[in-house]
Amino acid sequence: MTRGRVPLRLLVVLPSWVGDAVMATPALSLIRRRMPGILVGGLMRPGIDALLAGSGLVDEVHVEPAGGMMGPKRAAAKVRPMRYDTALLLTNSFSTALTTRLAGIPRRIGYDRDLRGILLTDTLEAPRRRDGSWAIVPAVEYYLRLVRECLLGGEAAAGEEFLSLAVTQEQEREGRALLERAGMVGVRYAVLNPGGNNPAKRWPAERFAGLARWLHEQHGLRCVVNGSPGERELTERIVAMSGLGGLAASLAGLGVTLGALKQVVRESALMVTNDTGPRHIAAAFGVPMVSLFGPTDHRWTTIPTRPGGPERVVVADPTLPEEERANDHPERCRIERIEEERVREACVAVLAGASR
């Protein structure tokens, strides 16, 4: 165990999901601030490189698709020539721990879970509840704790850590070209995110459509509906149901990329979103937002928002006791239980806070 020893060449294994990768940026910022001058590499899946581009949080970018029997061997071969002396695993998987071991990195730091402790040299126990299940720890704090305990020797970090992203000049050009195709240049607009990797996280499409109509009628906002290429049918259906014509646009069919989306989000006046990655992009840029949570507990992804970027979290069952987890009550916490009126009230609150 070598806690507190400053590495010279550090490889950070980054989470695969967009939201989780953004929630790792406070940990990366802390490393930069407390360990100036060290070389920091990032091992990440495709797409996360575009997300972190321009941030200056990593010096070397190693992109490798996740998964597959040969995945760890391929990834190890990619990072081995850099001769990293320390690996910090912000992932929980066995395969990423195996990758760093195969790469010959002598010091390997991570949480001791998923049967991978034997592959690590410096470990932390992930918090559990009395029944043995994982305790709810916000991902931002989960990653920061690993840095504080194992890289900084338990030293408390001063100051509040915010999510941080940047937009490169090329991404700015791409984003503005996308807005031009969407007919949103020079106007105030809201970003709606009706998708999500889990259908149980998706607020009903007709309510997003009604909200888009209300945002325009009551607040003069146009709407862009964001989604992946696979969600194009959903986003275009919401635009059609809104009845707004050219005052609303679906980004899924207009060539949206993750880099362009950062610019679109950065320029927006409001985001209304399910529990999905763009929520964290908005938080990083201080955009006012309303986040909707059904049967996934919002406390896993609690995020510190920058001044001027208020967030209102709307949960399906606000009466759920604090000691209970929404994940354990899929029927009681169905996202359909969030009424449109509650979302409207949250929008009014965050827009008022932003104007102040």
pTM above 0.85, yes or no: yes
Asked if the structure places residue 169 within a domain, the reply is no
Q: Which of 155-169, 212-226, 232-246, 252-266 has the lowest mean pLDDT?
A: 155-169
Of 102, 133, 151, which residue is a domain's last? 151
Summarize the confidence of residues 304-315 as an average pLDDT: 80
Whether 111 and 227 map to the same domain: the answer is no
Instruction: Identify the CATH number of the domain in which residue 197 sits.
Output: 3.40.50.2000
Whether 136 and 207 map to the same domain: the answer is no
What rounded mean pLDDT belongs to the chain?
93
What is the C-alpha to C-alpha distance for residues 297 and 183, in angstroms, rounded to an integer? 36
Residue 157 has pLDDT above 60, yes or no: no
Whether 146 and 234 map to the same domain: the answer is no
What is the C-alpha to C-alpha distance for residues 179 and 149, in angstroms, rounded to an integer? 44
Nearest residue to 77 (alpha-carbon basis) of 42, 107, 104: 104
Residue 60 has pLDDT above 60, yes or no: yes
Provide the domain count of the chain: 2
Contact between residue 205 and residue 192 where contact means Cβ atoms under 8 Å apart: no
Q: What strands, in cross-sheet order, belong to the sheet with 270-273? A: 248-250, 222-225, 189-193, 270-273, 289-293, 311-315
Per-residue model confidence (pLDDT) at position 248: 97
Whether 234 and 341 map to the same domain: the answer is yes
User: Greater confidence, 163 or 134?
Assistant: 163
Contact between residue 62 and residue 43 where contact means Cβ atoms under 8 Å apart: yes
What is the C-alpha to C-alpha distance for residues 216 and 221, in angstroms, rounded to an integer? 4
Summarize the confidence of residues 63-79 as an average pLDDT: 88
Per-residue model confidence (pLDDT) at position 129: 87
Containing domain of residue 47, as a range? 9-151
Q: Where does residue 116 fall: left (phi above 0), alpha (psi -120 to 50 degrees), or beta otherwise?
A: alpha
Whether 193 and 144 map to the same domain: the answer is no
Phi and psi dihedrals of 314, rounded to 5? -110, 120
Whether 186 and 293 map to the same domain: the answer is yes
Whether 234 and 311 map to the same domain: the answer is yes
CA dihedral sign, ordered 118, 8, 13, 325:
positive
Whether 71 and 198 map to the same domain: the answer is no
Per-residue model confidence (pLDDT) at position 304: 79
Whether 104 and 188 map to the same domain: the answer is no
Phi and psi dihedrals of 93, rounded to 5? -80, 155
Residue 254: burial class (beta carbons within 10 Å; 0-12, 13-18, 19+): middle
Whether 222 and 349 map to the same domain: the answer is yes
Whether 205 and 317 map to the same domain: the answer is yes
